[in-house]
Amino acid sequence: MPVVTLQCPQCRHEFRSLMLEGTRPPEIWVCSKCGSDGVAPKPDEPPQDHPWEKRHAYGCLCCSR
């Protein structure tokens, strides 16, 4: 599940969103702070793997104990 970093052009709020593997990205992203519908993924930050999908990475259930 890729994690995408988004930025609102109206209020400059940055937040992350999960995208399900094998699905199309939403046609409209909505800002979680101001409600603007002009949000887009940041072009300089490629999608990252969810931490729980990596073996022995931050967030790993067996390593965080």
Residue boundaries of the structural domains of the chain: 1-65
Give the tens place of pLDDT for each residue, 18-31: 888 788 888 899 99
Domain 1-65 falls in which CATH fold?
Rubrerythrin, domain 2 (2.20.28)
pTM for the whole structure: 0.67
Give the tens place of pLDDT for each residue, 12-65: 999 998 888 788 888 899 999 999 999 999 888 888 877 666 665 555 555 554
Give CA angle at 57 (15, 18), nearest 5°: 30
Please name the helix (run of DSSP H) or strand (run of DSSP E) that holds residue 48, with its range, or none. Answer: strand 48-49
